[in-house]
Structure 1
Amino acid sequence: MDLTHAIRRFEEYLDDYDREDDKIRLKITHTYGVMEYSKKIAERMELSTEDQTLAQIIGLLHDIGRFEQVKRYDSFEPGTMDHAGFGVEILFGEGLIREFVEEDTWDPVIRTAIAKHSDFRLEGIPDERELLHAKIIRDADKLDNCRVKLYDPVETFMGASAEEVGRDQISEEVMNEFRKKESIFSPLRKTKMDYWLSYLAYFFDINFPASFAMIVEENYLSRLEKRIPYTNPKTAEEMREVFETLDRFIREGAAR
Structure 2
Amino acid sequence: MLDGARKILLDEYYGNREIVAVSPHYAAYADEKYRHSLQVLGAGNFIIRHEPWFAGRGEEFVDLAKTAVLLHDIARFDEIRERFLGAKGPFDHSVAGGEKLRKIPLYSDVRITLPIKHHGHLIGDFYKDEEYCAIADPVLKEEVEKILFLIRDADKIANFNLMMYDQKMLVPLFVPYPEEVSDKRRRISAGVLEDFWRHQPVDRRKIRTRADEMLGYVSWIYDLNYGSSAAFCLRLNLVDMMFDVLQRFHDDSGLNGKMRRETGDFVRERFGFSPLPQS
Do the two structures share a fold, i.e. TM-score over 0.5?
yes
Paired residues of 1:166 and 1:230 also in contact (CA < 8 A): no
Looking at structure 1, the residues matched to 261 and 176 of structure 2 have their Cα atoms a distance apart, in angstroms, of 27
Q: Which residue of 2 aligns with 1:159?
A: 176
Among 92, 95, 112, the alignment partner of 2:114 is: 112
Mapping of 1:48-87 within 5 angstroms? 48-73=58-83, 80-87=90-97
Paired residues of 2:40 and 2:154 also in contact (CA < 8 A): yes
Count of aligned pairs:
240
Looking at structure 1, the residues matched to 247 and 218 of structure 2 have their Cα atoms a distance apart, in angstroms, of 15
Q: Which residue of 2 aligns with 1:223?
A: 241
Amino acid at match of 2:145: L
**Secondary structure in 1 matching 2:202:** coil
Mapping of 1:233-244 within 5 angstroms? 233-234=251-252, 236-244=253-261
Q: CA deviation at 1:167?
A: 6.4
- 1:214-253 Cα offsets, whole Å, 9 max, x none, are 121221112222334536423x332222211112222333
Amino acid at match of 1:43: R
**Secondary structure in 2 matching 1:181:** coil
Gaps of 5+ in 2: 134-140, 274-279
Q: For the structure 1 residues 168 and 40, does the alpha-carbon distance in structure 2 shift closer, same or farther, using more than 3 Å as the test?
A: same
- Tell which has more relative contact order, 1 or 2 (C-alpha 8 A, sep 6+): 1
Mapping of 1:77-156 within 5 angstroms? 80-92=90-102, 95=103, 97-98=104-105, 102=106, 104=108, 107-122=109-124, 123-124=127-128, 125=132, 127-152=141-166, 153=168, 154-155=170-171, 156=173
Identical counterparts, % of pairs: 23
Gaps of 5+ in 1: none
TM-score (norm 2): 0.77
Paired residues of 2:99 and 2:113 also in contact (CA < 8 A): no
Paired residues of 2:94 and 2:116 also in contact (CA < 8 A): yes
TM-score (norm 1): 0.84
Q: For the structure 1 residues 221 and 142, does the alpha-carbon distance in structure 2 shift closer, same or farther, using more than 3 Å as the test?
A: same
Looking at structure 2, the residues matched to 11 and 110 of structure 1 have their Cα atoms a distance apart, in angstroms, of 18
Looking at structure 2, the residues matched to 232 and 135 of structure 1 have their Cα atoms a distance apart, in angstroms, of 32
Mapping of 1:173-212 within 5 angstroms? 173-212=191-230
**Secondary structure in 1 matching 2:245:** coil
Q: Which residue of 1 aligns with 2:277?
A: none
More displaced, 236-245 or 57-66?
Answer: 236-245
Amino acid at match of 1:194: D
The two structures, once aligned, show a CA RMSD in angstroms of 2.5
Looking at structure 1, the residues matched to 231 and 165 of structure 2 have their Cα atoms a distance apart, in angstroms, of 21
Q: CA deviation at 1:72?
A: 2.5
Q: For the structure 1 residues 141 and 177, does the alpha-carbon distance in structure 2 shift closer, same or farther, using more than 3 Å as the test?
A: same
Q: Which residue of 1 aligns with 2:276?
A: none
Q: For the structure 1 residues 137 and 103, does the alpha-carbon distance in structure 2 shift closer, same or farther, using more than 3 Å as the test?
A: closer
Looking at structure 2, the residues matched to 231 and 138 of structure 1 have their Cα atoms a distance apart, in angstroms, of 26
Looking at structure 2, the residues matched to 172 and 14 of structure 1 have their Cα atoms a distance apart, in angstroms, of 41
Q: For the structure 1 residues 36 and 231, does the alpha-carbon distance in structure 2 shift closer, same or farther, using more than 3 Å as the test?
A: closer
Q: For the structure 1 residues 178 and 55, does the alpha-carbon distance in structure 2 shift closer, same or farther, using more than 3 Å as the test?
A: same
Q: CA deviation at 1:88?
A: 1.7
Q: For the structure 1 residues 103 and 16, does the alpha-carbon distance in structure 2 shift closer, same or farther, using more than 3 Å as the test?
A: closer
More displaced, 168-177 or 244-253?
Answer: 244-253
Q: Stretches of 4+ moved more than 6 A in 1?
A: 164-167
